[in-house]
Structure 1
Amino acid sequence: MTSAQDRPRVLTELDGDVWRITLDRPEAGNALDPAMAEQLTAALHARPGQTRAVLLLGNGERFCVGGDVQGFAGVDDPGAYVGQLAHDWHEVVRLLLYCPVPVVAGVQGAVAGAGVGLMGACDVVVCARSTKIRPAYGAIGFSPDGGTSWALTRALGAPRTLELMLTNGALTAAEAHMFGLVARLVEDEEVHRAAIALAHTMAAGPVRAMVRTRALVRKAAIRTLDQQLDDEARLIAESAADPEGREGVRAFVERRQPDFRGAV
């Protein structure tokens, strides 16, 4: 029998043109360890070329509780161990941020530590109503990693992020939705179903235009209006010349639904 320690941490499934990646360490709250980081990186690299969206889920009651603190306690050189783990995990975050197709996440139960950064690297997050989101670093005397400080500051602003992190606070799902950290709230039992449906809807859309849109939105807060306008002009020209844009315009004129999947 395969022990929980030896079992794969990440499951992948080709669901039509959606690449579904599921964290599968439910007995530990899908806590991050070196094997999880390695397998999640491999899963993102293994995305089949024909897929048009990535869906990230977590099995069990909790989406991801962050780093495996039990593992931290058992190493001789925690600085080196945690530093290397953060480095490996940041590769996962970058792969999500710069994924060439849209990324959807469905989160439930608890999202803590590096799990917050993981969630924040996704394009659209569907969140169960009972979810609690807690940075949790202060509880163990750590500063944040995994892009958590970036994701929270973008959504909440610096004052709220500092209050949350320095007091070891938590956000309810409703608060996370109000601040814009998550995009949609659904009933707990619906979260995976809703995330799957959304991923398929996005996969049917103009995915290259979506990726251009994502780039514009992420840069908007750190650029001048002139810089943003220049980039918008460049990217909309690319979109108009793209087979997606040509198909979208034809479909509009012909009063039919566009077939973006066929626009290659």
Structure 2
Amino acid sequence: MTDQPVRTEADGDVWRVTLDSAGTGNAVDPAMAAALGEALRARPPRTRAVLLLAEGERFCVGGDVRGFAAAADPGAEVGRLAADWHEVVRALLAAPVPVVAGVHGAVAGAGVGLLGACDVVVCARSTRIRPAYAAIGFSPDGGTSWTLAHALGPARALDLALTNGTLDATEAHACGLVARVVADDELRASATGLAHALAAGPVRAMVRTRALVRGAAVRTLDEHLDDEARLIAESAEDPEGREGVRAFVGKRRPDFRSAR
């Protein structure tokens, strides 16, 4: 429906989720948080990847500051919104399929946290990424402080957050905040093509890989080796792994879609 802040569509194997409140810069308010959470929960089981896009000139400007200004009890209302938005971030982190984001324009505030919750972020060259919390006297939410600290390191993350600084797409790519940078007019095609390519692959093995990569930051190498051994055994037992091995030996392209 056009009056909803989020639009969804099954594009073959890909569940496309589009932020569709261009007039607000796709600002995060209760309606956006609820709609995005529902969109992720509504993913058809037959789809094998999620693609997150946005309409308008800005991907997401962060929280609805005008709504904060009108709140009778701003602490309570902002706290509820943060809790709801964090469930969206958790839904992305726990998605049973790979998640690709195509971002453009302004990415600010809680929108920055979304980048850290997606598996692969494709970024338009003109994109500008800004924490923006310091401008309104807030501390970060939405996983933004975690995302920046892990991508930039504490010193650069604090410099960016405390001075209300901005990263351009090249800087975001250099520090690992985004995976790919493409020309603005190639963003949708590039992100869509990547989502379809991942959907054709061994998605359950990809989810295990995501768990390993994210877990590497909080475990010792000794602990991590145990997880790698456990998960590669699961992958070998999985129909995906069996299909991949058979295809390799048979010198043919694997058909992971049929590996159920």
In structure 2, the partner of 1:191 is 187
Q: How many angstroms apart in 2 are the aligned matches of 1:21 and 1:172?
A: 24
Q: After superposition, where does 1:104-119 map in structure 2 within 5 Å?
A: 104-119=100-115
Task: Kindly indicate whether residue 30 of structure 2 is the aligned counterpart of residue 13 of structure 1.
Answer: no
In structure 2, the partner of 1:56 is 52
Q: How many angstroms apart in 1 are the aligned matches of 2:256 and 2:149?
A: 35
Q: How many angstroms apart in 2 are the aligned matches of 1:246 and 1:19?
A: 26
In structure 1, the partner of 2:27 is 31
One-letter code aligned to 1:249: V
Structure 1 residue matching 2:216: 3-state secondary structure: helix
Q: How many angstroms apart in 2 are the aligned matches of 1:47 and 1:219?
A: 25
Segments of structure 1 that go 5 or more residues without pairing to the other structure are none
In structure 1, the partner of 2:117 is 121
Q: How many angstroms apart in 2 are the aligned matches of 1:169 and 1:223?
A: 31
Q: Deviation at 1:215?
A: 0.3
Structure 2 residue matching 1:66: 3-state secondary structure: coil
Structure 2 residue matching 1:60: 3-state secondary structure: coil
Tell me the TM-score normalized by structure 2.
Answer: 0.99
In structure 1, the partner of 2:98 is 102
Q: How many angstroms apart in 2 are the aligned matches of 1:181 and 1:32?
A: 21
Q: How many angstroms apart in 2 are the aligned matches of 1:161 and 1:194?
A: 28
In structure 1, the partner of 2:146 is 150
Tell me the TM-score normalized by structure 1.
Answer: 0.97
Q: How many angstroms apart in 1 are the aligned matches of 2:24 and 2:131?
A: 17
Task: Kindly indicate whether residue 145 of structure 2 is the aligned counterpart of residue 166 of structure 1.
Answer: no
Q: Deviation at 1:120?
A: 1.5
One-letter code aligned to 1:200: H
Q: How many angstroms apart in 2 are the aligned matches of 1:217 and 1:241?
A: 21
- What is the CA deviation profile of residues 134-162 of structure 1, one whole-angstrom value per residue up to 9, with x for unaligned ones? 00000000000000011111111111101
Structure 2 residue matching 1:64: 3-state secondary structure: coil
In structure 2, the partner of 1:246 is 242
Q: Deviation at 1:28?
A: 1.0
RMSD: 1.0
In structure 1, the partner of 2:73 is 77
Task: Kindly indicate whether residue 198 of structure 2 is the aligned counterpart of residue 212 of structure 1.
Answer: no
Q: Deviation at 1:237?
A: 0.3
Q: How many angstroms apart in 2 are the aligned matches of 1:226 and 1:75?
A: 50
Q: How many angstroms apart in 1 are the aligned matches of 2:116 and 2:105?
A: 16
Q: Deviation at 1:170?
A: 0.7
Percent of pairs with identical residues: 73
Task: Kindly indicate whether residue 251 of structure 2 is the aligned counterpart of residue 261 of structure 1.
Answer: no
In structure 2, the partner of 1:86 is 82
Runs of 4+ in 1 over 4 A off after TM superposition: none
Q: How many angstroms apart in 1 are the aligned matches of 2:83 and 2:112?
A: 16
Structure 2 residue matching 1:182: 3-state secondary structure: coil
